[in-house]
Amino acid sequence: MILVTGGAGFIGANFVLDWLAGSDEPVVNLDKLTYAGNLHNLDGLKGDARHIFVQGDIGDSALVERLLAEHRPRAIVNFAAESHVDRSIHGPEDFIHTNVVGTFRLLEAARHYWSALPATEKEAFRFLHVSTDEVYGTLAPAAPAFTEDHRVEPNSPYSASKAASDHLVRAWHHTYGLPVLTTNCSNNYGPLHFPEKLIPLMIVNALAGKGLPVYGDGMQIRDWLYVRDHCSAIRRVLEAGRLGETYNVGGWNEKPNIDIVKTICALLDELRPRADGEKYASQVIYVKDRPGHDRRYAIDARKIERELGWKPAETFDTGIRKTVQWYLDNPDWVANVQSGAYRDWVAKQYEAA
């Protein structure tokens, strides 16, 4: 049995689905079901006794302690987080509550549970914390990619809250001996991605005939990681990672945002041409850049390949094609997540410059 937190969100749900597709080991899935948590992401597990879903907050110590005592998991995989930079700029308090206070309370519950385990179970237990490359700050155009030893320099409320959680995880290992592992990933994309982030927003807006909002000049560079590659990396770190270590997980796919948008437009031109014969790229609009927008992220993923033999299976070309096709094939999922609150948010955030 493993306990997964945040397992109804984008990456967490993909992880749970992939885990149960390849293993009969049950999962207790704890998710608060905020706006980005979606039980429809887990529809394929309805009636599956291996999946136990619990709605709740990682900051609810009594609930977490009860789940640990009742299910006795051999590992905790912590995806639970507020994760959207734009939302953190408008409302940072939620990010402090979940990412800092919530992680602290989860660590404390895990520590007390782990401390009382029999020796063999105690030795086998793991706490894997899923984090982000954004904790490292921004890179100059020619600077080397982020390694695990790169200085932590977060520049947004979101990345600062994740850096704080990373520090807590490290401290609970060095102070209390809690057997922790941390992964810092680059930008994920793929199925089940809530359409506030760049790639799903472009796909959804393009199909709806709406503008495709690009921040500033569109030359912000990110390293793109297909979500199911990320899931396989987490499984590998959980299986064989060295205790107390951090592993950077990247896709070796550095690309400017505007190139991502143009690639999506070209795929849609091929797979779902506009009725009027125009190209989707004609819908691109440039909007005012967000405050403190980091210019470049890049992950050096050599450590996880060297130590654990992991590398991504997907190139960006194969992963983005699968992603666009998934959104074309799942219009009902898209419609279900596009509430009035979501539409209001998009209108507010991407007002044309």
What sign does the CA torsion over 337, 312, 135, 241 have?
positive
Given 113, 136, 158, 350, which residue is catalytic? Answer: 158
pTM of the predicted structure, to 2 decimals: 0.93
Check residue 344 and give its pLDDT. 60
Which position among 86, 134, 196, 254 bears the catalytic label? 134
240 neighbors 176 (Cβ within 8 angstroms): no
User: Which listed residue (57, 86, 133, 294) is catalytic?
Assistant: 133
Alpha helices in 212-315 (DSSP H): 227-240, 257-271, 302-308
pLDDT at 196: 79
Give me the residue spans of the domains in the chain.
2-192+225-251+293-314
- Residue reference for tokens 């597990």: 45
Q: Annotated catalytic, 43? A: no
Active site residue 133: yes
pLDDT per residue, tens digit, the chain (353 aa), is: 999 999 999 999 999 999 999 999 999 999 998 877 888 899 999 999 999 999 999 999 999 999 999 999 999 999 999 876 777 888 899 999 999 999 999 999 999 999 999 999 999 999 999 999 999 999 999 999 999 999 999 999 999 999 999 999 999 999 999 999 999 999 999 999 988 789 999 999 999 999 999 999 999 999 999 999 999 999 999 999 999 999 999 999 999 999 999 999 999 999 999 999 999 999 999 998 878 788 999 999 999 999 999 999 999 999 999 999 999 999 999 988 876 454 564 456 545 43
- Whether CATH 3.40.50.150 fits 2-192+225-251+293-314: no
Catalytic residue flag (residue 134): yes
Residue 125 CA: distances (Å) to CA of 16, 103, 110, 243, 288: 19, 18, 10, 11, 47
